[in-house]
């Protein structure tokens, strides 16, 4: 009897055969069967590194991170010379956004194998996750120096270069590698090439290569998803819907398709369809808090009380960082609609505090960029050598200041092309060597992207920093500065889950940037006031019949009563205000900040320190 246990142990070859069997079950999504194989094996073969490591990978893939980490920690103790378990453990910690701990684990592995190229590669991935791109690039270069024959290192270097906008260098790496047999590496290469083409505004090239991917790789969900992203970017929403429906017909369980479809329907103003998409997502995964957040903006859950109760009863402290952020913003919206403002304020603070853990505030970068432009020696007179027949209207100010409503009004003029929140001016400023060439560069970007028109609106709000340049080098240009009650504006920014405006996660940074923008615009109005119109959101919504004609008259346009009904505009809207602008002009959001006065105290103090802004509260 004493030899029975020993007889049950398998050889390494037999263990590997059983592991392969479990992997086949996993690939076929037969997870219970795979789990049973591992469980049976572990009963008598628990000392096998390969078995424990394979089970850890299986648990990681199923997002059972607690079990995976326990297995991997045990492996680092039992087999300290094998760095594979250290690397996978750091990957899980990175996914959990525990970047410092992930780095410590890799440093332990580095003591064991300082010249291991895979280790350098994983350091690069870790620093890339934390947006420390210089460190990431340094480590991937080390990995390549240690082993020049591994293509995945070169592919990842190209990905890093794309992240730091060195797309030409990335392109040179990928073009050398793009000819090869159809395999996973070619898939990654072509996917990155599509990213580069998009960055370079070569949208047709991006479309062509993405179609190559979906045609060459029959089981490639991401190809259809990326095509739909491209069509959102190029504002070809009907094409986006068509490609997503093809993807859904092939891969009906792939949830990201429904997320993109919901986004497109929202941009088109088809809110019932967007709601249906998000409800379907929740049906597939009741813990998809991104969809709860999106629904909290456009739906009251009146016919889905069970879903609402699940959200209301969720302990958000047990969620991962991203889910916690979405759930907290969703709860803040729900309690705001219920007029339970104290609860709304609580979850609003949680949502933004957690967001700051994920993304550093962009406040300092915004100020740095603005001050650089401000320091330039731009003459306070128009350059008479540049001629332009089209009217250019720059809508500037702070986010959530009523700019989308204004753009909706102006785009009712059928001679207007509303370009949205484009980066053409910033891109041109960075690309040119001589400031005199900035208009030509900007105009060239318009010509490549949009049909010819007599008027274009540019709603990149942070173009306010370029007022001196617009005045001197952009003939036939006008600037409309959007203003709103400072505290309502600050609250609205804080309540909006901006993905690309991380300064909005800090009330203090929002308020400081608001004061800065206000002071700068006052300075610019003194020098360039003849082309700047100040539009006050509160005045317009309270008396549109007086205020809208003022704007139209200032622009020199003929009057049309249609301007008074912007909610009837059928255009696509791609901003956070897409749901609000579909409604009739309303004033219910005026002075709502008083309901959050305690929460807003740090911002109130900053605004009150500016005598001119204090008068506007």
pLDDT digits (tens, 9 = 90+) for 93-105: 999 889 999 999 9
Residue 5 pLDDT exceeds 50: no
pLDDT-derived band at 3, boundaries 50, 70, 90: very low
Order the strands of the 391-397 sheet from edge to edge: 416-418, 455-458, 391-397, 477-483, 532-536
Averaged over 287-294, what is the pLDDT? 95
Residue 80 pLDDT exceeds 90: yes
Residue written as token pair 């069509």: 231
**What's the 3-state SS for 219-237?**
CCHHHHHHHHHHHHHCCCH
CA 487/CA 338 separation, integer angstroms: 21
pLDDT-derived band at 127, boundaries 50, 70, 90: very high
The reported pLDDT for the residue numbered 4 is 42
The reported pLDDT for the residue numbered 573 is 60
User: In DSSP terms, which residues pair with 481 in a beta bridge?
Assistant: 396, 534
Residue 249 pLDDT exceeds 80: yes
CA 137/CA 120 separation, integer angstroms: 10
Share the mean pLDDT of the chain.
Answer: 91
- pLDDT tens readout for residues 491-517: 999 999 998 899 999 999 999 999 999
Name the more confident of 180 and 52.
Answer: 52
Q: What is the pTM of this model?
A: 0.79
pLDDT-derived band at 572, boundaries 50, 70, 90: low
Name the more confident of 44 and 390.
Answer: 390
User: In DSSP terms, which residues pair with 392 in a beta bridge?
Assistant: 456, 477
All structural domains of the chain with their residue ranges: 381-614
- Structural Rg of the chain based on CA atoms: 28
The reported pLDDT for the residue numbered 11 is 87
Name the E strands within 431-470: 455-458
pLDDT-derived band at 588, boundaries 50, 70, 90: confident
Name the E strands within 476-568: 477-483, 532-536
- pLDDT tens readout for residues 208-242: 999 988 888 877 888 899 999 999 999 899 999 99
Averaged over 321-332, what is the pLDDT? 96
The reported pLDDT for the residue numbered 571 is 60
The reported pLDDT for the residue numbered 1 is 37
In percent, the amount of the chain with pLDDT more than 70 equals: 95
Averaged over 266-273, what is the pLDDT? 91
DSSP 573: -
Angle subtended at Cα 448 by Cα 444 and Cα 451, rounded to the nearest 5 degrees: 110
Residue 389 pLDDT exceeds 80: yes
User: Which CATH architecture fits 381-614?
Assistant: 3-Layer(aba) Sandwich (3.40)
Averaged over 271-298, what is the pLDDT? 94
Tokens, residue 539:
């005045």
Residue 140 pLDDT exceeds 70: yes
**First-to-final CA distance of the chain:** 86
Averaged over 365-394, what is the pLDDT? 92
């Amino acid at each position: 009897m004493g030899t029975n246990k020993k007889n049950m142990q398998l050889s390494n070859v037999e263990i590997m055969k059983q592991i392969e069997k479990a992997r086949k079950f996993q690939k076929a999504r037969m997870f219970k069967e795979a789990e049973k194989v591992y469980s049976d094996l572990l009963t008598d073969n628990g000392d096998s590194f390969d078995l424990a490591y394979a089970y850890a990978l299986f648990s990681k893939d199923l997002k059972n991170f607690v079990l995976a980490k326990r297995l991997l920690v045990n492996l680092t103790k039992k087999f300290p010379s094998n760095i594979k378990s250290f690397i996978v453990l750091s990957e899980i910690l990175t996914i959990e956004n525990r970047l410092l701990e992930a780095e410590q684990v890799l440093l332990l592995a580095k003591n064991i194998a300082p010249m291991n190229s895979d280790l350098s590669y994983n350091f690069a991935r870790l620093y890339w996750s934390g947006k420390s791109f210089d460190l990431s690039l340094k480590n991937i270069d080390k990995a390549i120096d240690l082993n020049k024959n591994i293509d995945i290192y070169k592919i990842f270097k190209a990905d890093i270069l794309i992240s730091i906008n060195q797309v030409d260098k990335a392109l040179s790496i990928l073009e050398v590698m793009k000819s090869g047999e159809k395999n996973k590496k070619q898939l990654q290469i072509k996917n990155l090439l599509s990213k580069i083409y998009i960055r370079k505004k070569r949208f047709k090239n991006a479309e062509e290569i993405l179609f190559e991917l979906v045609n060459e790789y029959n089981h490639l969900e991401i190809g259809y998803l990326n095509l739909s992203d491209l069509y959102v970017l190029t504002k070809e929403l009907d094409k986006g819907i068509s490609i997503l429906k093809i993807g859904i017909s092939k891969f009906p369980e792939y949830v990201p398709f429904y997320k993109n479809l919901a986004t497109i329907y929202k941009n088109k103003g088809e809110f019932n369809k967007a709601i249906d998409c998000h409800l379907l997502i929740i049906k597939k995964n009741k813990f998809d808090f991104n969809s709860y957040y999106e629904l909290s903006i456009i739906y009251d859950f009146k016919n889905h009380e069970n879903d609402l109760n699940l959200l209301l009863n969720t302990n958000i402290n047990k969620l991962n960082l991203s889910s916690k952020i979405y759930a907290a913003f969703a709860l803040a919206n729900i309690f705001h609609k219920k007029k339970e403002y104290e609860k709304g304020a609580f979850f609003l603070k949680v949502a933004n505090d957690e967001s700051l853990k994920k993304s550093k505030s962009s406040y300092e970068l915004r100020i740095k960029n603005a001050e650089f432009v401000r320091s330039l020696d731009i003459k306070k007179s128009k350059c008479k050598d540049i001629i332009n027949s089209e009217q250019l209207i720059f809508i500037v100010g702070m986010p959530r200041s009523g700019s989308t409503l204004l753009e909706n009004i102006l785009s009712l003029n059928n001679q207007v092309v509303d370009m949205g929140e484009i980066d053409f001016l910033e891109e041109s400023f960075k690309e040119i060597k001589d400031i005199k060439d900035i208009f030509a560069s900007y105009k060239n970007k318009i010509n490549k992207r949009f049909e010819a028109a007599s008027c274009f609106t540019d709603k990149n709000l942070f173009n306010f920093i370029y007022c001196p340049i617009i005045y001197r080098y952009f003939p036939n240009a006008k600037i409309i500065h959007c203003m709103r009650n400072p505290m309502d504006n600050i609250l609205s920014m804080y309540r909006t889950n901006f993905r690309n405006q991380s300064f909005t996660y800090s009330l203090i940074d929002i308020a400081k940037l608001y004061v800065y923008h206000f002071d700068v615009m006052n300075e610019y109005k003194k020098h360039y006031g003849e082309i700047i119109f100040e539009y006050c959101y509160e005045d317009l919504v309270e008396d549109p019949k007086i205020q809208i004609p003022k704007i139209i008259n200032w622009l020199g346009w003929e009057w049309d009563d249609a301007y008074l009904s912007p909610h009837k505009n059928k255009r696509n809207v791609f901003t956070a205000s897409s749901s609000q602008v579909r409604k009739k002009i309303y004033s219910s959001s005026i002075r709502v900040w008083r309901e959050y006065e305690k929460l807003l105290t740090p911002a109130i103090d900053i605004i009150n320190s500016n005598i001119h802004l204090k008068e506007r509260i």
